């Protein structure tokens, strides 16, 4: 009997010791975080955040936007109503067609591959060949006002201009360094070494574009207000003018490849091939559109004119037809040999 009691006591001691030890190990495990591992975890987290970073969705943020940003938003999203032909007050009418800035700068300027404005202010002032000067962001916006919008310049110090720039600044907040390139301009295409084939362009248009932009490129007006566009026009009197960047086949093909057909193509997942985008770009730009006056003064240094600028004068002997429809590689070769200038557009 005594022996059993002693044994029980010893067993109890043993259990108590084991229990304390197990508890200690358990607590140590609970609180232990190895210092080197934590650094690794933090670094991976940062990379992940940069890769999944998204620009702001202006449509969602609209209710929370600071007033000035909101004003800029309406100017670029409903341009015709706030500073175009549909503005109530005639003094507010600066743009000449019923397009919106956001018809070309998609997702209200936030879409990579569509000439996005995310991160744009850092890139200005910038040299521009069209004026042969270092231009401000305001000058660049006015480039689109006079050409893409077929209108008049917005005074540099006007409330409207200021609001647009403030909006662009707001859009750019927080862009990680390693994402900046993606939001700049249009991705390049491989330029086919042939002239635009309007027959091929027409076929692409019928298959991929006509459903929204219409048989005559006239677009579709908004059913509610009958003034702004649900699907904007691609040619005709209410489109961009012939001095616009979109009227150059290479620029237009780059935009189309990365952005159209709408909601089916993005810069990292395009639908058309480079050739299809090229021929259809030539096709939409083969029709009449408003005429920009004084384009002969563009590019004071004519050597800097993009090869697919369809209007002269040029400092080469290629025909007007070839400047409009290509093939462009021979013109590019000429500038490289003759002037040492490498042109991509």
Q: Would you call 19 exposed, middle or buried from its count of C-beta atoms within 10 A (0-12, 13-18, 19+)?
A: exposed
253 vs 331, beta carbon nearer ligand HEC: 253
**128, 129, 185, 236: residue in contact with ligand HEC (rule CB under 6 A):** 185
- In whole angstroms, what is the distance from residue 317 CA to residue 150 CA? 30
Applying CB under 6 A, does 163 fall inside the site for ligand HEC? no
Binding of residue 304 to ligand HEC (CB under 6 A): no
Q: What is the DSSP string of 42-63?
A: HHHHHHHHHHH-----HHHHGG
Establish if 280 lies at the interface with ligand HEC (CB under 6 A): yes
The two tokens of residue 140 are 């660049």
Q: Any contact of residue 245 with ligand HEC (CB under 6 A)?
A: yes
Indicate the residue among 120 and 196 with the shorter CB distance to ligand HEC.
120
Q: Angle formed by the axes of helices 198-208 and 274-284, to 10°?
A: 100
* E-state strands within 43-165: 126-128, 133-135
- Contact call for residue 110 and ligand HEC (CB under 6 A): no
Count of residues in contact with ligand HEC, rule CB under 6 A? 45
The nearest distance, CB 285 to ligand HEC, in angstroms, is 9
> Which of 74, 231, 318, 334 contacts ligand HEC by CB under 6 A?
231
Minimum CB separation of residue 29 from ligand HEC in Å reads 54
Task: Rule CB under 6 A: say whether 128 interacts with ligand HEC.
Answer: no
115 touches ligand HEC (CB under 6 A): yes
Select 112 or 244, whichever has its Cβ closest to ligand HEC: 244
Q: Which stretch binds ligand HEC (CB under 6 A): 33-41, 54-62, 189-197, 232-240?
A: 232-240
Nearest to 164 by CA among 75, 66, 56: 75
User: Is residue 104 part of the contact set for ligand HEC (CB under 6 A)?
Assistant: yes
Q: What is the number of other CB atoms lying within 10 angstroms of the CB of residue 155? A: 12
Q: How far is the CB of 345 from ligand HEC (least distance, A)?
A: 7
Closer residue to ligand HEC (CB): 148 or 172: 148
Q: Is 285 in the site for ligand HEC (CB under 6 A)?
A: no
How many Å apart are CA 57 and CA 183, to the nearest integer? 15
The residue with tokens 């360094």 is: 177
What is the Cα–Cα distance from 70 to 78, expressed in whole angstroms?
A: 12
Neighbours of 236 (CB within 10 A): 16
Of residues 199 and 317, the one with the C-beta less far from ligand HEC:
199
CA distance 179 to 112: 10
Window 136 to 155, contacts with ligand HEC (CB under 6 A): 140-141, 144-145, 148-149
Please state whether the peptide bond connecting residue 45 to the residue before it is cis, i.e. omega within 30 degrees of 0: no
Q: Catalogue the E-assigned strands of the chain.
A: 126-128, 133-135, 220-221, 229-231
Output the smallest distance, CB 230 to ligand HEC, in A.
7
User: Where on the chain is the footprint of ligand HEC (CB under 6 A)?
Assistant: 76, 79, 99, 101-106, 115, 117, 120, 140-141, 144-145, 148-149, 164, 184-186, 204, 208-209, 211-213, 231-234, 240, 244-246, 251, 256, 260-263, 272, 280, 284
């Amino acid at each position: 009997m005594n022996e059993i009691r002693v044994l029980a006591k010893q067993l109890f001691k043993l259990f108590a010791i084991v229990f304390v030890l197990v508890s200690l190990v358990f607590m140590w495990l609970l609180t232990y975080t190895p210092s080197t591992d934590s650094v690794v975890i933090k670094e991976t987290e940062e990379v992940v955040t940069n890769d999944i970073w998204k620009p702001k969705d202006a449509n969602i943020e609209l209710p929370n936007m600071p007033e000035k940003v909101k004003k800029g938003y309406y100017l670029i999203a409903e341009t015709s109503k706030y500073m175009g032909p549909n503005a109530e007050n005639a003094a507010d009418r600066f743009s000449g067609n019923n397009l919106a800035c956001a018809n070309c700068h998609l997702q209200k300027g936030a879409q990579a591959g569509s000439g996005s404005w995310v991160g744009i202010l850092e890139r200005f002032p910038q040299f521009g060949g069209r004026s042969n000067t270092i231009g401000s962001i305001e000058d660049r916006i006015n480039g689109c006002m006079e050409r893409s919008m077929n209108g008049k310049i917005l005074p540099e110090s006007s409330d409207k201009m200021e609001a647009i720039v403030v909006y662009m600044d707001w859009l750019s907040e927080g862009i990680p360094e390693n994402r900046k390139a993606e939001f700049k301009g249009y991705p390049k295409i491989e330029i086919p070494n042939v002239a635009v084939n309007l027959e091929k362009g027409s076929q692409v248009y019928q298959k991929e574009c006509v459903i929204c932009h219409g048989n005559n490129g006239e677009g579709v007006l908004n059913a509610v207000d009958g003034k702004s566009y649900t699907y904007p026009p691609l040619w005709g009197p209410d489109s961009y003018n012939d001095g616009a960047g979109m009227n150059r086949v290479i620029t237009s093909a780059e935009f189309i490849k990365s952005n159209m057909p709408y909601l089916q193509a993005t810069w990292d997942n395009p639908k058309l091939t480079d050739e299809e985008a090229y021929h259809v770009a030539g096709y939409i730009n083969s029709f009449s559109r408003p005429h920009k006056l004084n384009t002969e003064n563009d590019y004071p240094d004519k050597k800097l004119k993009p090869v697919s600028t369809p209007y002269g004068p040029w400092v080469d002997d290629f025909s007007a037809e070839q400047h409009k429809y290509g093939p462009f590689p021979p013109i590019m070769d000429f500038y490289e040999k003759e002037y040492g200038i490498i042109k991509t557009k």
